Amino acid sequence: MSLYPAFARPRDLGQAAEIMGSLSTGAMIIAGGQEVMPSVNYGALMPEVYIDVGQITALKGISEENGAIQIGSFTVHRDVQQSDVIQNNLPLLSYAAAQIGGGMQVHNRGTIGGNIVSMHPLYDILPSLLALGADVDILKDGEEQRMALADLMKDASHGLGSESLLVRVLLKPMTPDAGWAYEKLKITAGGYGSANAAAIVTLDSDKITSLRIIVGAVSALPVDISDALSDYRGQAWSEHLAEEIEAKASAAIKEPLSDHQGDGDWRRAMAGVMARRAIEAAVKRAG
Amino acid sequence: MGDQKPETEGYVGQSVRTIEGRAPIMGKATYTNDINFPGQLHAHILRSPHAAANIKSIDTSGAEKVAGVVRVVTGAQAAEYIDPIPHYIDPAVFGGRSATIRCLALDHVWCFGQPVAVVVAEDKRTARYAVSRIVVDYEVTTPVIDAEDALKDDSPMVVPGWDANMIMQIPFGGGDVAKAFSSADRVVKTDVKVHRFSTQPIETRTYNAVYEAGTESLTLYGTVQNPHPLRHVLSKILRMPENKIRVHAPVIGGAFGMKMHGHPEEGLVCFLSKLIGQPVQWVEDREECLLIGAREQVHSVELAVTKDGMILGLRDHYLANTGAPSSCPGWGMAMLTGLTMPGPYSVQNLDVQLSAVVTNKPGWNASRGYGKEVTALALELSVDNAARELGLDPVDMRIKNFIKKDQFPYDSPTGLIYDSGDYEGVMRKAMDIIGYEDWKKQQEEAREEGRYIGIGVGFELTPEGGTLPGTLVAGYDSSTVRVAPDGSVRILTGVTTPGSGNPTGIAQIVADELGVRLDTIEVVQGDTTTCPYGFGNSSGRSTIVGGGSAAKAAIEVREKIIKVAAALMEVGESSVTMKDGIIVSGDKTIGLEEVCYACYTRAYDVGSVIDPPLEATAMFKPGLVRHTPNEKGQINPYPSYSNAAYVAISEVDVNTGEVKLLKFSVAHDCGNVINPILVEGQACGAIMFGIGAAMAENITFDENGRQLTKNFMDYVMPRIGDVPPITLAHHDSPNPVNYKGLKGAGEAGVGGSAAAVVNSVNNALSPFGVMMTETPLTAPRVWSAIQEAKKAQPQRKVA
Amino acid sequence: MEDMLEDTVLVNLRINGRLHELEIPAHKSLLDLLREDLNLTGTHMGCMTGHCGACTVSIDGRVAKSCITLAATLGRAKITTIEGLTQDDGTLSALQQAFWDNAGFQCGYCAPGMLLCTVELLETNPDPSDADIDTALAGNLCRCTGYQSIRRAVKAAITTTKEGAPQAAE
């Protein structure tokens, strides 16, 4: 804790690695500031050093090469929403980024990296990224490591500490025939979700060929219920199936959140409703 | 609208833009937080993390070691220099229990967030950090959180030394209640639980005190609705005469009652500035602001009804959880809830009793509606419930029981005297402008598709301009009108504005009464040194008494101008007219400036017919108020009874419990309208408060009485997408005893609109048999109600 | 390594057209920098958590909440505050005039967010629907108006801009 913090502006990943390696736990990586600053303002967080990663070009930009899409961690939500690459290849992600609360101001400053590493249960990006099977590159101990986002979340359920830097998110384009949806239940027009679900489905005529659903904002981290739905592959889509998915999604929420957004029973039920609505909308899009 | 004077007679009744609005829209208005003096110091307050505890010791040494810290003060230290905070409304005046309230706790804390110590430092960040270095040894005791628990025999006492956790019990009513209940076809009981919520202006409270040792005088700049009464309070706390204290309220960023005084920080910063000899500022943060709540009441309304819906009697013994004692006027809201029963209904057999309970939650402050919003919620939910029980249309039942328009002035069973009204007309107009019958059709069609649209109505009677005997809540006010030698006009008035536009309303009135152009008028408010003594902003009073007193002063000044003009033109006074600053007699015309200059400079010839300067101070005291108790010991503290009807159209998603509002209407009787666009702004703002209250805004505590609601993520207020289109109509029945027939327009609507929302949701869910009478109707709560109704009535075919 | 740590940070900010070279402490929010160091008090503190929008400014043409923007991260940036919307001679912008004429504010405390978000909305979408307006202003809380007059003011400003002349509202 320091009243008079220092400031570091690494110009590249090498310098970032060097600084991160040399500092104790009192350092704080800052990008858009949307997650860090409220705690700073209320004195709950008093970093000794701010590491401003805004100068590092490797963290910026969206690119597509040989069917691989890279999103620098310092890419703001607004750019994720509006990028042609994302809109054309990952419409689910573009849509989910537009559902982030806090208004235009937060869309303009908040970064995809910040949204991921905070691992806030109510945030909007993780369910879609998990549904899309995203990988991430992490700079840690001076080296970049690539891992599945799902694996990172198993390790780091309380957020990525300041000894690691999320460099970029890697994604494969959705197939053009994939149906997708992101459903978010929220209390007010500007606000946080109380339950959400991202779904991607592919159909062969009316038969399901692949199906992924991630449910968020109902437990500490998003829950991937895709495995529980594997039996539906090859089955024809029906209203009955939607009902079953609703029940399975609810049942998958073992430890529901209970907070200002709503109590656990409701959250568990809403996990089902959102999953059902997401898959229904995704099927409609695919069909 | 615009700079040009409208084509009609006069400014009153026109939607002119606010004269005070230019600075704020430029970002150039000076709010208290924008003021910064040389040598400015900053205070941060250590607050109790416990709801109830004894303070065993406080170690401030850690804070004192922080560089930049100027002074650390504990409650015990402060008590050597300053006295307790006088109550805005002392319960003792009404025979209740009165607690001693200090700026900083002495040896005991009675709520979470209570100020315990304060650090003054060179910057706010250092002050905040140093506060975290203070160590307090608390002996935590068992808190009392619920009002019901507080009244149990074995409950701990919130206030040491009291023999009950009760400010007071007050009965309201009269008639033969027992007979009404025994002769009724049915008694319908409705338990209405209203939760704790808050006004939360976007500008938090801020105080900046400047003590001048040379003159032994003090100026407090602050977010203050009532500068003169606060000056009195400060004089008592600080042991200083009132004439050495100046209270100045710059532009205020919304108030809604929260900036009425009695807050510990007001006296505290003044004391600190005096102690240290430098300006001291305190800026409330949002977490602190959210400590101030109100309105938490539990009602059990019994309506004795005939089978065709006549209400013969009403019984309601209710509890108000007013939190820990506070010097703010909030607790009085609980009193007004009972006093305003039975609202617009012609029910003379009334047995209402308030129990104003203290608990270890933070205390209340005044909140828009001042208790009358809870009356509306309790009544309007009960009437809907009764109508459903009786199988009657809820609107028909209301109209059947409304006081008729030829019954005014009307004596209520609680002693109020309603001035005027046409409640049925107001109700019907609100229904007409929203297309009530058409929505009924849409509701049926939607149900065919499995969608649940609800139509709800709510009525609110909002007495305005309140005045309580023996307190500085006064019914009258005063204004000075000054016309300068160049003919420009300055109005100084004792009323203040929280941003509601009353300076413009007052200027419109003066422009007409004086006969000058609106753009030649300036209004000065909120300064005890420059303005005449007044009581500031509360109870929808500012335009009634500010406008009324300014009009009287303007008429006096106008007479002087006319006299001198007549002398200058050598004509008879009676032939002279003045309008828009042009003075005419027959075919002679003379400019206002020429006359005004003569008034000031020719006191020994043409000006000798008047006493200069061109200035007058006048007082306006509305009628109808009765402070001398009647034979039942009742008073009527209000001159004016505004009223309004609300219709809400909502759609409920039965799978999630989400409520979406589709449309809203209000018909409003605030007497004659001075400025329609500004009145509409007040009405729509109040409706948004009602929507927020009904659906989401909620302050919650854990089982130990620690507040959980800390920011706007937790306290969910309506955003632009949450508020549906609102249609407004006026239905005015002018107050016969007030200037221009005004009734007050700023306060009404929180309860009536909240009730309309709740009734609409119940109406939407009537196929399930859902009847919710506990607010707020959050999605989880609505969803649970639907689940329970489904379980209870599995045979009912729905969805 | 130590040489990479700075105790104060040099930023070059062009604020409302004027260039400021400032040596600032690392911890300072843009809100505090504007209000305390540059006397631009039109940008307001409402919640300090990024929820209310009263602290809104525009950074390089995009609105941001200055209370949750660390000033030191800005380096070189062009910033417009509410004060920057008025012309030097005191003439209000068409949007400010529309808000004033239509009672689009009462106390004025939320005006920075309402105005600057609308400016950005109309730059990217000159003919917004009601839903577009609601989305653009979703990051701002107003406690006075009930939002009705804000929608009306935004629409009046659109009409003014289209017709190229001030439009008085009824």
Q: Tell whether A217 is within 8 A of chain B (Cβ).
A: no
Confidence of residue B660 (pLDDT cuts 50, 70, 90): very high
Beta-carbon separation of C168 and B253 below 8 A: no
Q: Which of B284, B716, B720, B723 to mutate to test the interface with C (most CBs of C within 10 A)?
A: B720
Residue B799's pLDDT band (boundaries 50, 70, 90)?
A: very low
- Of chain A, the percentage scoring pLDDT greater than 70 comes to 96
| B723 CA: distance to closest CA in chain C (Å) | 7
Residue C165 has pLDDT above 60, yes or no: no
- Chain C stretch 109-128, residues whose beta carbon is closer than 8 A to a beta carbon of chain A: 113, 117, 120-121
Using the beta-carbon criterion (under 8 Å), do C41 and B202 form an inter-chain contact? no
How far apart are the CA of B255 and the nearest CA of chain A, in angstroms? 23
Position A2 scores a pLDDT of 80
- Tell me if residue B191 falls in helix, strand or coil: strand
Q: Decide: residue B533, CB within 10 A, 0-12 exposed, 13-18 middle, 19+ buried.
A: middle
Helices (H) and strands (E) in chain A, counts: 11, 12
For B641-679, give the DSSP string. Answer: EEEEEEEEEEEE-TTT--EEEEEEEEEEE-BS-S-HHHH
| B22-30+476-620: CATH number | 3.30.365.10
Q: Which residue has the higher pLDDT, B799 or B415?
A: B415
Asked whether the beta carbons of residue B17 and residue C103 sit closer than 8 angstroms, the reply is: yes
Hey, is the C-beta of A263 within 8 angstroms of any chain B C-beta?
yes
Mean pLDDT confidence for B614-637: 94
pLDDT digits (tens, 9 = 90+) for B154-195: 999 999 999 999 999 999 999 999 999 999 999 999 999 999
Domain coordinates in residue numbering, chain B? 22-30+476-620, 38-141+201-289, 369-466+628-792
Chain C nearest CA to B351, separation (Å): 36
C76: exposed, middle or buried (Cβ count in 10 Å: 0-12, 13-18, 19+) = exposed
CA distance A242 to chain C (A): 30
pLDDT in tens, B260-309: 999 999 999 999 999 999 999 999 999 999 999 999 999 999 999 999 99
CATH 3.30.390.50 fits A180-286, yes or no: yes
Residue A179 CA to residue A177 CA, distance in Å, equals 6
Say what the pLDDT of residue B2 is.
39
Q: Do B712 and C135 touch (CB under 8 A)?
A: no
pLDDT at residue A260, as a whole number:
86
Closest Cα in chain A to C9: A7
* pLDDT confidence of residue B244: 98
Q: State phi, psi for A49 to the nearest 5 degrees.
A: -140, 130
Q: What is the mean pLDDT of chain B?
A: 96
Alpha-carbon span B530 to B359, nearest angstrom: 41
Contact status of C69 with chain A (Cβ, < 8 Å): yes
What the block records as the tokens of B365 is 């402050």
By mean pLDDT, which of B246-260, B612-626, B784-798 is the weakest? B784-798
Instruction: Give B4→chain C minimum CA distance, Å.
Output: 11
Tell me whether B252 touches chain C (CB under 8 Å). Answer: yes
Proportion of chain B above pLDDT 90, given as a percent: 94
Q: For residue C125, what pLDDT band results from cuts at 50, 70 and 90? A: very high
User: Measured between CB atoms, does A218 come within 8 Å of chain B?
Assistant: no
- B726-730 and C5-6 as β-strands: parallel, antiparallel, unpaired? unpaired
What is the rounded distance in angstroms from the CA atom of residue B789 to the CA atom of residue B452? 15
Chain C positions in Cβ-Cβ contact with residue B1 (cut-off 8 Å): 101, 168-170
pLDDT tens per residue, range C70-107? 999 999 999 999 999 999 999 999 999 999 999 999 99
pLDDT of residue C57: 98
A-chain CB neighbours of C64 within 8 Å are: 105, 108-109
- Per-residue model confidence (pLDDT) at position A191: 80
For residue A109, give how far its alpha carbon lies from the nearest alpha carbon of chain C (Å).
Answer: 6
Which residue intervals of chain C bear CATH 1.10.150.120? 94-162
Q: Do C100 and B18 touch (CB under 8 A)?
A: yes
Pairing outcome for strands B489-493 and B521-524: parallel
Task: Indicate the CATH number for domain A6-55.
Answer: 3.30.43.10
Indicate if B38-141+201-289 has the same CATH topology as B22-30+476-620.
Answer: no
For residue A187, the distance in angstroms to the closest alpha carbon of chain B comes to 7
CATH class as words, domain A57-171: alpha beta
Q: Which of B56, B47, B70 is nearest to B116 (CA)?
A: B47
Q: Please state, in angstroms and rounded to a whole number, the distance separating the CA atoms of residues C169 and C167.
A: 6
Average pLDDT over residues C138-145: 97
Question: In chain B, which residues have their Cβ closer than 8 Å to the Cβ of C135?
Answer: 721
CATH numeric code, C2-84: 3.10.20.30
Give residue B739's pLDDT. 87
| Cα B240 from Cα B268, distance rounded (Å) | 14
Of B499, B712, B720, which is closest to C144 when you measure between CB atoms? B499
Q: Report the alpha-carbon angle C73-C78-C83, nearest 5.
A: 115
Chain A contact partners (≥3 CB pairs within 8 A): B, C
Determine what percent of chain B is predicted with pLDDT higher than 70: 98
- For C72, the closest of A34, A50, A102 (CB atoms) is A50
Instruction: State the average pLDDT over residues C123-145.
Output: 96
List where CATH 3.10.20.30 sits in chain C: 2-84
In the predicted model, what is the mean pLDDT of residues B211-238?
98
C-alpha distance from C21 to closest chain B C-alpha (Å):
23
User: Whole-model pTM?
Assistant: 0.96
Q: How far is A106 from chain C (nearest CA, A)?
A: 7
Complex-level ipTM: 0.96
Residues C28-51, mean pLDDT to the nearest whole number: 97
pLDDT at A261: 87
Confidence of residue B397 (pLDDT cuts 50, 70, 90): very high
- For C49, the closest of A30, A38, A103 (CB atoms) is A38
Q: With an 8 Å Cβ cutoff, are A189 and C138 in contact?
A: yes
- Please write the tens of the pLDDT for every residue from B55-85: 999 999 999 999 999 999 999 999 999 999 9
CATH code 1.10.150.120 for C94-162: yes
Give the model confidence (pLDDT) of B431-454 as tens digits: 999 999 999 999 999 999 999 999
Whether C4 sits inside 8 A of A10 (CB atoms) is yes
**CATH level 2 (architecture), domain B369-466+628-792:** 2-Layer Sandwich (3.30)
What kind of fold does domain B38-141+201-289 have according to CATH?
Aldehyde Oxidoreductase; domain 3 (3.90.1170)
Contacts of C82 in chain B (CB under 8 A): 26-27
Within 13 Å and on the Cβ side, how many CA atoms surround C165? Answer: 2
Listed in order, strand segments (DSSP E) in B576-629 are: 576-579, 582-585, 588-591, 615-620
pLDDT of C11 over the 50 cut: yes
Residue A190 pLDDT level (bands cut at 50, 70, 90): low
Q: Which residues in chain A (1-40) have CB-CB distances under 8 A to chain B?
A: 3, 38
Contacts with B718 from chain C: Cβ below 8 Å: 147
- Contact (CB<8Å) B719/A265: no
pLDDT at B4: 43
In terms of Cα–Cα distance, which of B746, B712, B680 is closest to B204?
B712
Task: Please report the pLDDT score of residue B795 as a whole number.
Answer: 55
Give per-residue pLDDT as tens, A129-180. 999 999 999 998 889 999 999 998 886 555 567 788 999 999 999 999 999 9
C-alpha B321 chain-centroid distance? 19
What is the rounded CA–CA span in Å between residue B196 and residue B176?
34
Q: Do C6 and A7 touch (CB under 8 A)?
A: yes
Neighbour count for residue B700 (Cβ, 10 Å): 12
Contact state of C7 with A102 under an 8 Å Cβ cutoff: no
Residue A123 contacts B, CB cutoff 8 Å: no
Q: Retrieve residue B216's tokens.
A: 């032994």
Lowest mean pLDDT among A24-33, B388-397, B477-486, C26-35: A24-33
Our CA-based measurement puts residue A214 at a distance from the nearest CA of chain C, in whole angstroms, of: 26
Give the chains touching B; criterion: ≥3 Cβ pairs < 8 Å: A, C
* pLDDT over 60 at B6, yes or no: no
Query: Could you tell me if A190 lies within 8 Å of chain B, comparing CB atoms?
Result: yes
* Amino acid residing at A248: K
Position C169 scores a pLDDT of 40
* Chain B interface includes C88 (CB < 8 A): no
What's the distance, CA C54 to chain centroid?
A: 8
Domain with CATH 3.30.390.50 in chain A: 180-286
Contact B722 A263 (CB under 8 A): no
Among residues B224, B219, B218, the alpha carbon closest in space to that of B206 is found at B224
Read off φ and ψ for residue B242, nearest 5 degrees.
Answer: -60, -30
SS3 state at B578: strand
